[in-house]
Structure 1
């Protein structure tokens, strides 16, 4: 179900993934979300390692309120007049968004914004909806972006392509590797990998790739690679593996 795939917050209600690996407390799960959200909101919002750890002690709602307040300038141009300096180029959209957030309960003051405050306006627009703080993100997307970032760093000498449902690694001397990502709690004896496996089989049959990895978050049980063998591919040269991907670097200092 879609709601089971969304993590984040809706007002003071939090939707966090269940405990896994070393993320065995509410604080660490909040820290996990703040870190993973960086990969989605990176152009206008970034929680430093220090902020992730510090803000995990409060609700996610208050963490994003803190971030917005921290990003806003100390001084605004305040006016109750229609005239503005000719040297000041107003950004109408940013002005409306920031005013709506700051004055949701008190609309006596008008704050004028220019393009330099556009990133703040974007952050407000994505997590302040209908006068309520909320931000819910698909966990599969969060995990996909985390894996993509790691792969780009690890294979900086190769071409890494984000295919949306998967990630491709190629180079002149390398035939290629395809990685399907999904945030699932994998049970080694009975892994739930049907959907990703079907995609992998189709890709191999098309002759696009013969080496495919299925990446999932590492947990206490799923700690090693699992080779996957498919009867209908027995006459083809291929390699499919379920790979545990550790998120522990997020909580390491």
Structure 2
């Protein structure tokens, strides 16, 4: 065994003392999202206690254990897709960060730059960051009640106008916009799917700037749309969370932060 020098011995004692102090006063990890992001310009739009500032069907939406919960039960009588709509404005260019968890049979999404329909309760029309429990569509860009699919997961697309313009449904084929032009492959759709956590927490980050719409999930770019369709694109509108018509399901949401540009 190599003898310990006098200097090394005192270094060892100092290090031991520091470790002992650290054990007595361990550094605690923080879950305070407000403090982490307070210098980034993000603002919480959910108080963690109530649905103040939101508008939705109270038979579907509630707050439970600090989470927004949207749930369909066997007794639910939902006839059309329904949304919990933020009443705080109509963001144009922005970033939105949300943690979500959804049951396997669930179908949901985050609508943005959307308009509210007057003839259907709690219904929105507009861009949607798709979420589903089987992770078949999670991360793609689907335009609710409008041009349908604008980019599948793993795609960067350009959305071209149709000439001459006409009824939107005339330009939809197989639930996708005919003007969808693939400009770049962002990754294999099924490989990207492996990065998503089934029936567990995932993090959605939307980066919306002008005609460019980016959907990140768990830090990975899942889809990107460049909307060149001057007739049909939207530059601002409502935010909302969706519960889709279908079997019993539950979607949970937390850490909802918005930064407008």
TM-score w.r.t. the length of structure 1 is: 0.24
